[in-house]
C-alpha cells in the first residue's frame, strides 16, 4: 500500500524540475531568471543568511554556554592525605574502625555543603609518601597514587557514592535522628558516575572484589612496593567491612528509626516496607 504511493510520488518527481535551471532561449530568455539589478543579476550574491542589513536570524540569539550543565557538575572538596594522617595522629579519627564520610565530618575540621553540589571527600595525594597508617577508608574520589599509598600501608580504600539526601543525613547525624524519620536508602550514582564507581581500578563500591584484588597486585607492581598479605592481617575482618550499596551508616539499615532519647531502634514490621527498604 505504502509502496504504491511512494512509487507514484517518485514517478511524478521524474518530470518535475529538480532545480532552478538557468533560463535560456525564448521564454527562459530576457533576464534569464536573474531578476532586475541588484546582486542577483550582477552575480555578486549576498552571503547565506544575510538579510539585507537587519540583524540576521543566525546572529540574533547569542550562544553563551558558561553555565551549561552546571547543575549536573559534581564537586568533591579535597582532603589531603597529610590532613588525614594529622586527624588520625591527634585521635580525631579512630583507625581501628572503618573510616567513612561520617567519621570525617564528625571531626568538625572538614566541612561539606551538599546544597552547593558537593558530593563528598576527594582524597588528594599531598602527603601520600608520609602516610603510614593501616586504615579501612571510604571516600568519594581518589586517584591511583592515593590508592597505592593506602594499600602500601596495608589498608583498604573504597570509593562510594552518596546522593544528596544521604549526605544531608550524614552531615549532622544527631539532628537527622532527632527528626524521627526512617533512614533512607542510598540511591545509585547518576549515569556519568556509574562507570567510575563500578571500576575496580578506582576501587569502586560497585566493582567485583575479586577484580579489585587483581588490581591491588597491578598497582603494587606499578608503584614498586610489596603488597602486604591482607588475609594474614589480624584486622582482616575490620578491613573487609563494607557498606551495602543501599546503606548509609555502618551498622544501621535503611528503614530503621533511631530513637536517641529512649535509646531504641524501631524496625519496620510491615511486609511492604521491608520489601521496599531491601530493594
* C-alpha–C-alpha distance, residues 26 and 85, integer Å: 94
Q: Which stretch binds another protein (CB under 8 A): 17-25, 82-90, 109-117, 244-252?
A: 244-252
Q: Is 130 in the site for another protein (CB under 8 A)?
A: no
Q: Which stretch binds another protein (CB under 8 A): 27-35, 114-122, 124-132, 166-174?
A: 124-132
Sequence-ordered list of residues with C-beta below 8 angstroms from that of 204, at least 6 positions apart, any chain? 158, 159, 160, 196, 197, 198
Cell numbers placing 234: 589480624
By C-alpha distance, which of 170, 243, 167 is closest to 205?
Answer: 243
Q: Which stretch binds another protein (CB under 8 A): 55-63, 65-73, 148-156, 159-167?
A: 148-156
DSSP state of 228: P
Half-sphere CA count of 117, side-chain side, radius 13 A? 7
In Å, what is the CA distance from 17 to each residue of 14, 20, 121? 8, 7, 67
Q: Is 266 in the site for another protein (CB under 8 A)?
A: yes
Tell me how far apart the 2 most distant CA atoms of the chain are, in Å. 104
Q: Is 193 in the site for another protein (CB under 8 A)?
A: no
SS3 16: coil
Tell the smallest beta-carbon distance from residue 222 to another protein (Å).
6
When the beta carbons of 64 and 270 are compared against another protein, the nearer one is 270
Q: Is 229 in the site for another protein (CB under 8 A)?
A: yes
Backbone dihedral angles phi then psi of residue 161, each to the nearest 5 degrees: -105, 135
Tell the smallest beta-carbon distance from residue 93 to another protein (Å).
13
Binding test (CB under 8 A) with another protein, winner from 112, 128, 139, 169? 128
Binding mask 153-192 for another protein (x = CB under 8 A): ---x----------------------------x--x----
SS3 132: coil
Q: Which residues bind another protein (CB under 8 A)?
A: 97-98, 125, 128-129, 145, 148-149, 156, 185, 188, 206, 208-210, 212-214, 216-217, 220-231, 238-242, 244-247, 250-254, 257-258, 263-270, 273, 278-279
Amino acid at each position: 500500500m505504502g509502496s504504491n504511493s511512494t512509487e507514484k510520488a517518485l514517478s511524478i518527481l521524474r518530470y518535475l524540475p529538480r532545480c532552478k535551471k538557468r533560463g535560456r532561449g525564448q521564454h527562459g530568455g530576457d533576464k534569464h531568471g536573474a531578476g532586475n539589478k541588484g546582486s542577483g543579476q550582477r552575480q555578486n550574491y549576498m552571503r547565506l543568511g544575510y538579510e539585507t542589513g537587519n540583524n540576521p536570524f543566525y546572529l540574533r540569539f547569542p550562544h553563551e554556554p558558561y553555565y551549561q550543565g552546571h547543575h549536573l557538575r559534581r564537586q568533591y572538596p579535597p582532603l589531603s592525605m597529610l590532613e588525614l594522617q594529622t586527624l588520625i595522629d591527634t585521635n580525631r579519627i579512630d583507625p581501628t574502625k572503618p573510616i567513612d564520610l561520617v567519621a570525617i565530618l564528625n571531626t568538625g575540621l572538614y566541612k561539606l555543603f551538599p546544597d552547593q553540589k558537593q558530593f563528598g571527600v576527594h582524597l588528594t595525594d599531598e602527603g601520600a609518601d608520609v602516610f603510614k597508617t593501616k586504615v579501612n577508608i571510604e571516600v568519594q574520589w581518589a586517584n591511583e597514587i592515593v590508592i597505592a599509598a593506602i594499600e602500601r600501608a596495608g589498608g583498604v580504600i573504597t570509593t562510594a557514592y552518596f546522593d544528596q539526601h544521604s549526605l544531608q543525613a550524614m552531615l549532622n547525624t544527631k539532628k537527622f535522628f532527632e527528626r524521627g524519620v526512617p533512614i533512607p536508602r542510598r540511591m545509585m550514582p547518576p549515569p556519568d558516575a556509574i562507570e567510575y564507581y563500578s571500576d575496580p581500578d578506582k576501587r569502586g563500591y560497585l566493582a567485583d572484589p575479586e577484580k579489585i584484588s587483581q588490581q591491588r597486585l597491578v598497582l603494587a607492581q606499578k608503584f614498586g612496593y610489596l603488597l602486604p598479605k591482607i588475609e594474614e592481617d589480624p584486622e582482616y575482618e575490620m578491613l573487609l567491612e563494607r557498606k551495602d550499596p543501599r546503606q548509609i551508616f555502618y551498622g544501621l539499615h535503611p528503614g530503621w528509626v533511631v530513637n536517641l532519647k529512649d535509646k531504641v531502634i524501631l524496625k519496620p514490621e510491615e511486609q511492604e516496607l521491608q520489601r521496599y527498604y531491601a530493594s
